[in-house]
Structure 1
Amino acid sequence: MSLAPAVAPVATDPLAERLRELRLQRGRDDWPELVLSVSQDLTLATRGALVAGDPPVLLAPKAPDRELPAPWLAAAQRARLARGVWAGPEGAGWLFAVPVGSVAPVNAAPAPGVLVLEIATRHQIDLALTRERLVAVAALCEAATQAAAGGLAARAALAASAVEAYLQAPDRSAGLTAAAGVLAHATAGVERLALVRISGASPTTIAIADQPVVDRAGNLARLLVGLVEDVLDGPEPSRACTGEPTSPAQQAYVDQFGKRPLLAQLGPARHLGLAVAFAPDHAPGDGEARFAPSLALLERVLQPQPPRLSIGARRRWLIRGGFLAAAVIGLAVAPRTDTVEAPASLQPEWQQTISAPFDGIVAYSTAQPGDHVEAGTTVLARLDTREIELEIAAARARAANELRDATVARAGGQPAQEQLALLSASRAESQLALLRHRLASAELRSPRSGVIVSGDLRKSLGQPVLRGQTLFEIAPDISVRADARVLDEDIRRVEPGQPVRILPDAEPDRPRHGVVERVRPMAEVVQSRNSFLVTVRLEPGAEPLRPGSEGIAHIETGRTTWLMSLLKQPIRYIRKKLWI
């Protein structure tokens, strides 16, 4: 009995596996980092870099502040000129450089790159092995770049063919069916392929390859539209199923037609969707990338074009544009008065405060706010004087007693006692004068003619008041001054002497005129904004206004045009936002 030799299992070559993975990842944005990482893993390199351009620019590793050593730059230049591997000693090790073809994105301009590696050994076997593997890496990079470029061109050609089929069809429905047929026949393993138009996030039209007439309510159409709706409900532009179904729409299709790979994809504008069912033994592969250019181009073709205007409509629009241009020019040259608007309030020319002359009790008062008063005649209030009268009688008695004591001391030849008695009498006379003054000032009269603006003691009869306590405030019954609050962004245009027109809120149709009298130099914060107080003197003879009235002050600051007046606020807003 003869024994057949046992067949050893085929071992996977790690080098081949890493190179295959690198080739499949050519389309990634971090391709330079992947090339450098794989090269360092496959060699004994301790350090490395990938550069491109002349002068060389560091692409990997990403280190903006890193500068390559001069020997590395020289090695990259020599490898580029030699178009092959260059090697030379560097310190205690060895320096290798090899061109790896274009390292730019597939759809960008070519950017030839050079891989530079530093080996920490000078052993001949290690150097030979490093050279061999760098040659393999460089050849694979070149092949991967060419394959990626070829795939991109093939996808663009497929998109052009689909659009051509759509445009040659007699109507849009037939065109969509023809485009679906082109995509299905050009892709291996496709069982069913459908294009779905989307409007307002809802499918509206479905076209299935090789089916000129599609029953929208049919089972197949509903299942294919469901796959597209499944993608519409999520944020991702596509959804594939190569194993177990991951959504109810995929599960429904599998239940009906059996387990098979599925792909649903949307165009970049989400106006066109694609649903593909592959044969059970066929994988979608790069189906998503294959169909993306076709969907994008078909979406642009399917977008409705704006209707062209007729000659009459163009003429009408030209006439309207001419009138608009004339209006703008008119506004640009028509002069008008430049004004600064600010809220204003009418203020009294003066305000007189009536305060309590001494501590006392309110005995009488009939005055109230709004009453007109006359200077020196109108009694505002009267304080209780009974306690003062008693103190006056006591002070008078003390003064008389002290004078009598002074007379007795003089008669008795006691000059010291006489002086003390006279001093006490003088002090009593002073206190008596003060009490008489209080008695005279107990009756509060208005010192000026005007109107009471605050103070009402009618409900405070019998209550005490303190000396200096404000009891009444009197102001003139007409106002000849207005205070306007101008924002700090406008105050530089306001100067004394400028004419002002005030529109009271109560009578906006009856303006009052005046001039700027003064501008307060210090800004104040009012309602969270800086503003300056501008005093306006109303013209003599103007119709009087009561103090406290409010309105809008229009301060005339010069001349401008209507256009600049209209654009003033937008220009100011833009300057604030852009700091210009």
Structure 2
Amino acid sequence: MLSRQEPSAPEAANEPAAAATTTGRSVATDPWAALAQARTAEQLCQAWLPVLCGMLPHARSGVILLQDADGSYAPVAIWPGQTDLSHLGDVAQEALVKGQGVVRRDAGNPTQFAYPLDGGGRLFGAVVLELQTEADDALSQAMRMLHWGVGWLMDLHNRRQLGVQESRLARSSFLFDLALAALAETDSHKASLAIVNRLAQHFGCHQVQLGLEKGKTVQVSAVSHSATFDEKTNLVNLAALAMNEAFDQRATVVVPEPEEGASLITAALRHYGGESGSAALCAVPLEAADRVVAVWLLERDTPFTRDECEALETLALTMAPILELKLTAEEGLLRHSRRSWQTLLRRTTDTSRPGIKLLVLLGALLIVFLALYPADHRVASQAVVEGAIQRVAVAPFQGYIRQAPARAGDIVQKGQVLAVLEDKDLRLERVRWESELEVAVRKEREAMAKADRVALRLASAQANQARAQLDLTLEKLSRVEVVAPFDGVVVRGDLSQELGSPVEQGKVLFELAPLDAWRVILKVDERDIAWVKLGEPGELVLTSLPGQAYPLT
């Protein structure tokens, strides 16, 4: 609980340079100078609050609440210093719950005003002021000043969020760089060297070692900035023991521990640190496929923080499968087969996995059953059902589609109209040739009356031409309607979406098949054709009737 010596309201209002403190810390006497020199969130809030309250003539007290990492809100700045402002908790809580400004006026008591700090739709704090006035003008002035000055706190929040995003981006970038460096190498040893060198550079370590699991123990495999090393030296053996300490506990072991009361065993790690002269050590196991495949051992002079340990554990989650993949790819056929059989045998004999035992037993029984039980060999293939006889209805001449009442799937009778072509031009052409025929006949008669043989022959030829064209036009008019040649079903053709479109002479408009004869075409794969013999029985299952099978031979 924060406390202070209570000054009177006028005295509090005339203290523009009062120091804002939290948990016993003080800011510079000049709040404007402190505001300009602020480097942390606490310093900025402790400098900003006195500046704001100093600009409000009726300000009695104020407090800034910011959200902690656990989601709770705690005061980071109080004005005047060492003040008990617990009575402002209710109005602050109400503003945070409602997400909007709250004003409380009680007769005879100072006016309380709380304003929530919203950054991108998420509350991160609140500013609470206590004013020794009930005048609306003074309250409005205080609100305007608060709205004007809260930009400093919003900028603080944005910079904090930007810092978090930059930290995450840097961590992700290093993770991708580390993974790509390991994947780019051709073998596990080169990949291990690439990993430890980058870890040493990124975390400021003078040495990073990587040990691989071999026979339920860890042996040093790679040392940063060293192409080769002597495996028989005392330091290498001590490093292997320190790695085995993390390997056996399957947990990250750190010396010195970042938190008090750690329950992990660190004897081997401390012994190695004493021999190597490293002040800070961190051993991180890399787990993949429910087993530890490797261990990192990092050495430097400054202690490892909790954030760095979490970053190393995150990197280990990504790099463990990559190392496992490299090691598996380098295994010989015999070793790979042996490890696969060992894994299967271990899972089969594991008492905690009765389901796998039952599955293996059922699999063995199934193999025996399939080997002894006689069964028919079935050849499956796609099938097409079509009419034994198919006829087409084509366009009798070049024209345009006027009507198309029939479509695929329709049952039609002989002579039923399937489509009608446009006959407007043909009717006009018929009138034309009828007129020309009439003119030619009249000329022929006039030539006969005048006994003009040349004109008679010319008129007779024109009449014959007009008569032939007229007969052709009449023939086309008689074939305007495309009709069904027999009783059957339309298996292909739908002109309902092509009304008014042109068609060429001879274009297939419909395909028809009779209803009394069908044939089934089987499309057997060439690899299965040897199994098909003449006269063998089979079953036909139609897509439209999946529950019904038709026998065929």
TM-score of the pair, normalised by structure 1: 0.36
TM-score of the pair, normalised by structure 2: 0.38
**Higher relative contact order at CA 8 Å, sep ≥6: structure 1 or structure 2?**
1
The structure whose residues are more often helix, as a share, is: 2
